[in-house]
Amino acid sequence: MPSPTLKKKAAAIAALLDELYPETPIPLRHEDAYTLLVAVVLSAQCTDERVNQITPLLFARADNPHDMVKLSVDEIREIIKPCGLSPSKSKAIWELSRIVVEQHGGQVPQSFEALEALPGVGHKTASVVMSQAFGVPAFPVDTHIHRLAARWGLSDGKNVEKTERDLKALFPENTWNKLHLQIIFFGRQYCPARGHKVENCPICSKWGV
């Protein structure tokens, strides 16, 4: 259990994030659960901006799993090449689309277990889809949130799994879906990995992390 002092600090950070980011638009452009799932798969080791440039080209050809499996893996790879890791991502997108069609009636499954069983879909990707497409409480922890949680003294997690558990214990469940986006927005604006100026960071300057 987190200490009362740490809980108080977490609540103060959450209040500040609410003030700075009352609205939390999802950074990856999408139309439904399927297009979000594909966009999140593409976002691995790639910026959201780049993904948002590429997905309209891909979704113009196939914005549902039935149409995606009609494309070849090579066709998908050519379109998504600028996102990096295109050989593995194109196979994963084609294969997960086939499974969604054959095993889930063409609908993205609404459980962590079924999502994580799909090719190219890890726990973080499943958490993003569950929280942002289906509204299920989840706390997707990527490398940025992992870094910020450590920098702010909210977690001593050596891996994202431990950090996720720590953050879930600190913050109310009904705030998780919004909070993980607020932390990402804050990190980009005030608390970058490189060139971080403590005095310009509303959290690090206040809590002396």
Taking phi over 0 as left and psi of -120 to 50 as alpha, with beta for the rest, 85 belongs to: left
Which residue in 142, 156, 166, 168 is the catalytic one? 142
Count Cβ atoms within 10 A of the Cβ of residue 5 and give its class: 0-12 exposed, 13-18 middle, 19 or more buried.
exposed
CA distance 23 to 145: 18
Q: Is 142 a catalytic residue?
A: yes
Q: Is 63 a catalytic residue?
A: no
Which residue in 89, 124, 158, 197 is the catalytic one? 124
Who's near 186: CB < 8 A, 6+ residues apart? 17, 20, 21, 148, 203
User: What letter would DSSP give residue 105?
Assistant: T
Task: Please give the single-letter amino acid code of residue 196.
Answer: H
What is the helix (H) or strand (E) element at residue 50, kind and residue range?
Answer: helix 48-61
Q: How far is CA 92 from CA 16, 37, 41, 85, 165, in A?
A: 39, 11, 8, 11, 28
Task: Please give the single-letter amino acid code of residue 179.
Answer: L
State the catalytic residues: 124, 142
